[in-house]
Structure 1
Amino acid sequence: MKILVAARAFLPARQDYALLPRTWKGDLVAGVTVGIVALPLALAFGVSSGAGAASGLITAVIAGVIAAVFGGSNIQVSGPTGAMVVVLGPVIAAHGLGALAAVSVLAGVIVVAAGLLKLGRVVTLLPWPVIEGFTVGIAVIIFLQQVPAAFGAKPGPSSNAVISAIQAIGTVSPASVLAPVAVVTLVAVIMVASPRIHPRIPGSLIAIIIATVAAQFLDLPVTRIGALPDSLPAPMMPSLDLATITALAGSAATIAALAAIESLLSARVGASISDTGPYDADRELLGQGLASVASGFFGGMPATGAIARTAVNIRSGGRTRLAAITHALVLLAVVYLATGPVSRIPLAALAGVLMVTATRMVSLKTLRSVIGSTRADTVVFFVTALITVSFDLIEAVEIGIAAAAFFALRALVRSSGVHREEIPGPVHEGDEHIAVFRLDGALFFAAAERVLERVSAIRNVDVVIIRMSQLQILDATGARTITDIVQALERRGITVLIKGIQERHLRLVTQVGVLDSLRHHKHLFTELTPAVEHARSHVARAASARTAHNPGKNPQPVQPQATLQTPTLKED
């Protein structure tokens, strides 16, 4: 029964379309709008990855439908994205175009498994500076990848986008550059000007149409997309023998991680700016994984949720999955009805679309927010961005998380500490022989040594009271450190009293031996006042003992010993 309930949570349900009777008109309009916006992007991403324009179009159609039906978001729009292009390009260059279908299926299976294992919430652990640095790095790579097409050249042999762009520029002649650069400039001007005329004008599509017509009319010497299939290919299972799986396993894992991260981030952003309710992270992974598997069967690319297209969907009135399904059907109509005109689109026009898209991915307001936050977050942001551009996307995320964890750990260590306090209330004779230490914040492996050194260095006291009621975080190393402190002080003849162990720390301190290290079980207190009274009685007895050994000195008055009971532990 539990298995059936768990399985039902991953399946499409009537609730997915609960708003449809009221929103279907808006969903259809939004779907058509997103389809128009997605067409040039699908073509451009396909070409830029090396898979071809047809592959990008097929991915947008197949993955767009599957992810919309099986995913965990009501307004997510999926398809080929710039981040996936960045990862997929080197894979195709290294293993050939024949590896595309296999790596799509393998990556999809990994994402499906992540969803079934309920790993969807892991993305919430990504720090904001890492996400922004990752986004900026991807934007830079996408822009640089378009440089060869923008100059009418072939990409350089290097797999690094920066080096490849420089190599491509070095091969062009001034005469051959004029036409493609003019097309790119025309596209960019139209895309930048369109929103200022009206925010809903599909600037990228209009720019593509005008650039294509101009190139045809003027007979410009620019490379075109070329022939496209006028129907979807029949689904085919890619070859997945052991040798292929072994060769592509690493690439598939990288693509799967990227697909999961980008899809969940897009779904989270979509949920935050829409009124369609929360998204199901685990079901979203299942839907995106199935979309990549299906795309691979039809010769397409791995798919992810697309933040830009999802935002367009929401702004255009999309509220249910019908909008994303409609967007895919619009692109399907292009495959069957308009492949002729599409085949004449200049590659430089697509390069211009992606250059403007990459530029728009970088928000100056967000950059100022990150850089103006803290020094640590600024470092994490730039480290992630630089590694994304210079090396590898997944490595960039991993190193960015590691850097963020380091700075968070350092901040936690700085916030933790041990403070010597004055004894509250009127001063009694002999109080100078009592030291009260308060443990604050966190006592764990990174901060334990500093606390040990501070408390163990105390001199000229008879009693040490350790207050633990303000201690928020305690691990085994921290608990062992308290044990070492108690044992070190007791060996020197200093009585140790512990006050305020919290209930959540009691099992740990008992297991590690903190309580056993105390001289007497009555040296454990829940309140400070009885602990101080007990400490004063110890000081008085110690003073009497010193007087007995030095009869010439006046005896110190002995304070009455406080009545002690074994306490019930609680926070104070």
Structure 2
Amino acid sequence: MKPDAGTARRHISRFLPSKLDYAGLGTSWRTDLLAGITVGIVALPLALAFGVSSGVGAEAGLITAIVAGLVAAVMGGSPVQVSGPTGAMVVVLAPVVAVHGAGSVAPLSLMAGLLVCVLGFSGLGRSVAFIPWPVVEGFTLGIAAIIFLQQVPPATGTSAVPGHNTLIAAVEAASAATVPTALLTLAVVAGVAVVMVLVQKLLRALPASLIAVLLATAAAELFRLDIPRIGPLPHALPAPAVPAFDLDLLGSLAMPAVAIACLAAIESLLSARVAAGMTGPDGRPSGPYSPDRELTGQGLASIAAGLFGGMPATGAIARTAVNVRSGAKTRLAAAVHAVVLLAIVYLASGMVSRIPLAALGGVLMVTAVRMVSRRTVAAILRSTRSDAAVFILTAIITVAFDLIVAIQIGLAAAALFALRTFASLSSVQREEIPGPGADGDEHIAVLRLDGAMFFGAAERILQEISQVKDVQVAIIRLSQLRMLDATGAHALVEVVSALELRGITVLLKGVRPDHLQLVTNVGVIRSLRHHKHLFEHLGDAVEHARSHVRRNAAYRL
């Protein structure tokens, strides 16, 4: 019992904070502090914008950035990851809010958070490595397009129709815009975009999005522009409370919770993986991360956000990148980012409420454009036709249908293309009989199976071998067969049976030790005319085949 208890404690300790989380803090605390302040300033307009875009309001976005950001900083598996509301999460939440109302987001956050914790404790954190690069980039392109389209209503001074597809809602919002208001809001969006681009080029050390939003808000106040604003925000953080649940609500939120949990896991792990390879100002990488602990930390962050009335959270690659490039080394930076946002709630909520929605729309439009790397897109499109097709398909389905559906179809398409390529590497080669020739060798076929004999290639290989003609003995070499599954083994049974029915004796040579049990269980060896028709060496098989040919010749005489 004691060893089992000790193993359980060690397993649980992998998910808990420790002193090692803050190793090096004595020398990095200054840069961590400055990095946290910088990220907090950058995160403010994004948190507000994502809250508004999701339909739950700027308050929920800000609460999520504070609560989830702090919990994930302490409990997560990455030392530099910054968590909060993200564009990808907004895309999933918006239709749920349109159907079930803003009150459904808190219980949804708890449900999704619990599922993400289960994924972490189950050890599935490393599964993100199996998502192909074209699927990830197609997913990113689709999210960027959706985020951009979601900003058309605030950019034109209108409101989106709840529940409609993002593209359709953008077209409807643009067509419903009125000239005076639309011109003002579009001018604000254009001004924000110009300021962000100029600040990014000329003053890279300054938070471009915050400066753009401040200037847009000042201009709107100075000229008394009649355009939509954020509206009242809380002056304090609300007290935590367990949201109301009922069976009907749980049933209707079950599938959205699964979708959000999958999205939160994928986005957080991808962000952590990218951050681990990024270098800070000193040229050193951020260091390793724990995928499973990252999932449990993000799950706890979403649960905490839901208790405070927030929305599900994930690791945010944009804010994480700012954190790394600002010199962050430990979790202190992400924690300080949350404290900075909390201070804004208590000290400056009145000023924040006057920010125009069009200014936040401009920030997100620029953010969406920057999410897509032209170099990466060009590299994928120039790679292979199958990878380019997977990339384009994933992006289109993301915009047209659903993020989770896009990942599923993208993975299925990538797997299909990979299997097709893998199957094309499998072949049947007819070889010459080694050594000096002998009478009757023309009646012996030596067939070598290369690559893999699996369900994707079994039918084609079966047809190729079945076309062998004018031979009395077929030696099938299996030593070069790297992969064999049950379908492939069953195809071998059919090959042997078909050849034997045609009067062709089949000899098997070189069954690999790791394939022996499979071919035995499926019945490959049983299908042979004699159990001794299984050979380890080609020379022995050839000699046995020649004896069959001589015997047949003598019988005909």
Work out which of the residue numbers 472, 475, 489 in structure 1 matches 2:482. Answer: 472
Show the counterpart of 2:240: 235
Show the counterpart of 1:47: 52
Contact 1:186 1:211 in 2 (8 A): yes
Aligned-partner SS, 2:436: coil
Show the counterpart of 2:357: 347
Show the counterpart of 1:218: 223
* One-letter identity of the residue aligned with 1:350: L
CA distance in 1: counterparts of 2:553 and 2:203, whole angstroms = 88
Contact 2:233 2:350 in 1 (8 A): yes
Shift of 1:158: 4.8
Runs of 4+ displaced beyond 3 Å:
none
Aligned-partner SS, 1:504: helix
Q: Do residues 365 (structure 1) and 386 (structure 2) align?
A: no
Contact 2:426 2:450 in 1 (8 A): yes
Show the counterpart of 1:79: 84
* One-letter identity of the residue aligned with 1:113: V
Contact 1:183 1:211 in 2 (8 A): yes
* One-letter identity of the residue aligned with 1:285: L
Q: Do residues 416 (structure 1) and 421 (structure 2) align?
A: no
**1:316-395 alignment runs, 5 A limit:** 316-395=326-405
Q: Do residues 164 (structure 1) and 169 (structure 2) align?
A: yes
**1:101-180 alignment runs, 5 A limit:** 101-180=106-185
Aligned residues: 547
Show the counterpart of 1:458: 468
Q: Do residues 204 (structure 1) and 214 (structure 2) align?
A: no
Shift of 1:157: 4.4
CA distance in 2: counterparts of 1:94 and 1:85, whole angstroms = 14
Show the counterpart of 2:407: 397
Aligned-partner SS, 1:84: helix
Q: Rg larger in 1 or in 2?
A: 1
Contact 2:95 2:162 in 1 (8 A): no
Q: Please give the per-residue CA displacement for 1:464-489, whole angstroms capped at 9, x wherever unaligned.
A: 11011111111111112212222222
Shift of 1:219: 1.1
CA distance in 2: counterparts of 1:482 and 1:96, whole angstroms = 58
Q: Do residues 14 (structure 1) and 14 (structure 2) align?
A: no
Aligned-partner SS, 1:388: helix
Contact 2:474 2:504 in 1 (8 A): yes
Show the counterpart of 1:555: none
Aligned-partner SS, 2:526: helix
Q: Do residues 181 (structure 1) and 191 (structure 2) align?
A: no
CA distance in 1: counterparts of 2:53 and 2:463, whole angstroms = 59
Aligned-partner SS, 1:98: helix
CA distance in 1: counterparts of 2:399 and 2:478, whole angstroms = 47
Q: Please give the per-residue CA displacement for 1:542-570, whole angstroms capped at 9, x wherever unaligned.
A: 22222x2xxxxxxxxxxxxxxxxxxxxxx
Aligned-partner SS, 2:417: helix
CA distance in 2: counterparts of 1:353 and 1:489, whole angstroms = 70
Instruction: State, as a whole percentage, how many aligned pairs show the same letter.
Output: 61
Show the counterpart of 1:449: 459
* One-letter identity of the residue aligned with 1:356: V
Contact 1:152 1:223 in 2 (8 A): yes
**1:93-108 alignment runs, 5 A limit:** 93-108=98-113
Aligned-partner SS, 2:532: helix
Work out which of the residue numbers 7, 31, 35 in structure 2 matches 1:30. Answer: 35
Show the counterpart of 2:64: 59
Q: Please give the per-residue CA displacement for 1:264-309, whole angstroms capped at 9, x wherever unaligned.
A: 1101111122434321111111111110010011111100000111
CA distance in 1: counterparts of 2:459 and 2:102, whole angstroms = 56
Show the counterpart of 2:282: none
Show the counterpart of 1:559: none
Give the alignment's TM-score, normalised by structure 1: 0.93
Which moves more between the two structures, 536-545 or 111-120? 536-545
Shift of 1:528: 1.7
Which moves more between the two structures, 374-383 or 448-457? 448-457
Contact 1:224 1:347 in 2 (8 A): yes
Show the counterpart of 1:482: 492
Shift of 1:379: 1.1
Aligned-partner SS, 1:344: coil
Work out which of the residue numbers 286, 296, 303 in structure 2 matches 1:293. Answer: 303
Contact 1:152 1:176 in 2 (8 A): yes
Contact 1:156 1:163 in 2 (8 A): no
* One-letter identity of the residue aligned with 1:480: H
CA distance in 1: counterparts of 2:32 and 2:471, whole angstroms = 76
* One-letter identity of the residue aligned with 1:518: L
Shift of 1:388: 0.7
Contact 1:156 1:166 in 2 (8 A): no
Aligned-partner SS, 2:205: coil
Aligned-partner SS, 2:383: coil
Q: Do residues 3 (structure 1) and 13 (structure 2) align?
A: no
Shift of 1:195: 1.8
* One-letter identity of the residue aligned with 1:106: M
Q: Which runs of 5+ in 2 are unaligned?
A: 280-284
Shift of 1:132: 0.8
Contact 2:99 2:163 in 1 (8 A): no
Shift of 1:252: 1.1
Work out which of the residue numbers 164, 174, 193 in structure 1 matches 2:198. Answer: 193
Contact 1:75 1:321 in 2 (8 A): yes
Show the counterpart of 1:256: 261
CA distance in 2: counterparts of 1:128 and 1:161, whole angstroms = 25
Contact 1:105 1:292 in 2 (8 A): yes
Aligned-partner SS, 1:118: coil
